[in-house]
Structure 1
């Protein structure tokens, strides 16, 4: 009888593992869904973007189902830590502090934190923003860069926090603020696609690189994604996707 119970228990355990494996077939990508061109919603409310196209190809090759999960960007690290998402893949800057807490892939794009202003504002340098109001996305790398640029921040009249860059740029357009600190890649894309009368100041607050972040407990998945991106670089698909979004191959994988 004990043997029969043991066998039944074993079978139940196997079924449970199979069920868990099936549930684990999903690849949950955490993102800010208002961060073009990396990840955002199109006119039909579908989540699209450069990172999304990369993730679709990666998950297809790994035999995983991609789930794009919008998250509160200011709580992104907690979402990853608690296992609600498998990775943060959304133009995520690799800082020294973040690399202590998370397992990153190698950098796949280079970026910088810059300030966007209205073309007719007369603002040409960071110094010209002395006494002005500047917007920034809460919990973003732009906010981190602004905090580190202590003299520049101290020169400002006010720093206004926004939930996303789109709203900040709208406030810039209606002259509620005088500038927006944000990612260079995103700034250029928004200006080009939105045909806004904005310019990016030449001075940057900080150079940086984008990487994909995983929990340190999930290094195997990180390694699988890294290896797949490298394979995509070799067979030309990575370059193809990058050219689609940026006009040229500015990707860094395999270079």
Structure 2
């Protein structure tokens, strides 16, 4: 019995030590004199992804480089499991989430958002020859999207729609896998970010094989997610971001990645 009590005490002590460590890390504040780690999904083109040369590139990564060069802050990019992004942030493994990160009410409870910098929609994509033309037509059909994404949150918010599907939305770790399911005919439709979808279909040369429905799951804004303790840093960050928008730098960077999409 005494041995069992000692074991229980040891377990409880270890548990509380772990809790204190996580709490201390979640209270971490960004120090301008130290480098920052930018967490991103390296499959989410054109915002952040690995190119054919194995380099990390993308609109958000180029934007981040300009922001932190102006701030005089060292930075590095860290690919993360998108489903664990808030955990990675609040345990101190990364200092921000920056990769087409949508502002939602649920996320605002756990992160501090920067000012928004781009607008987006959650769109429904189907094969061009599909008979699906509306959300109602998806009754009894299979739908896919990325796990722990704003797309999934938007779908689940419409309970009547979800209940009309053949099953719960099918989710994958990346949007590449989501598109693969649609390409292979395993699902009837997918819900994805419009900006990413347009770029993906344009680059793959398959744009003519798919179409977006007129109906969607709402408009949203992208922003950068920080720990809620990083208030002062985010204020400086927002100032630099606004300067870039005012002096035309933001528009110039954006045109490097979205000019073809916007012209469609």
Alignment TM class, shorter chain as reference: 0.7 to 0.9
2:240 aligns with: 228
Measure how far apart 1:247 and its partner are: 1.2
Q: Corresponding residue for 2:225?
A: 213
Please say if 1:185 is aligned against 2:195: yes
Matches within 5 A, 1:110-125: 110-125=119-134
Show structure 1 runs of 5+ residues with no match: 1-20, 251-255
Alignment of 1:79-118 (within 5 A): 79-118=88-127
Which runs of 5 or more residues in structure 2 are unaligned? Answer: 1-29
Q: How does 1:1-255 map to 2 (within 5 A)?
A: 25-158=34-167, 159-196=169-206, 197-247=209-259
Quote the RMSD (CA, aligned, Å): 1.9
Q: Does 229-238 or 139-148 show the bigger shift?
A: 229-238
SS in 1 for 2:216: coil
Once the 2 structures are TM-superposed, how far is the Cα of residue 24 of structure 1 from its aligned partner?
A: 5.2
TM-score if structure 1 supplies the norm length? 0.85
Aligned residues: 230
Distance 2:211 2:234 in 1: 37
- For residues 102 and 165 of structure 1, do their structure 2 counterparts lie closer, same or farther at Cα, with a shift above 3 Å needed? same
Match of residue 23 from structure 2: none
Task: Summarize deviations over 1:218-237 as a string: whole Å, max 9, x none.
Answer: 11221222111111112211
SS at 1:94 equivalent: coil
- Aligned residues of 2:145 and 2:171 also touching (Cα < 8 A): yes
Q: CA offsets, 1:83-137, max 9 Å, x none?
A: 1111111111111222232111111111111111111122211111111111111
The answer to whether the 8 A contact 1:240-1:249 is kept is no
Q: Return the offset for 1:53.
A: 0.7
Distance, in Å, in 2 between the alignment partners of 1:92 and 1:23 is 23
> Does the 8 A contact of 1:133 with 1:156 survive in 2?
yes
Q: Deviations over 1:158-202 (max 9, x none)?
A: 221111011110110111111111111111111111122111111
Distance across 1 between alignment mates of 2:54 and 2:214? 34
* 3-state secondary structure, aligned to 1:205: strand
CA contact (8 A) 1:29 1:89 kept: yes
- Deviation >2 Å, runs of 4+: 21-25
Distance of 1:248 and 1:65 partners within structure 2: 32
> Partner of 1:25: helix, strand, or coil?
coil
State the shift of 1:249 in Å. 11
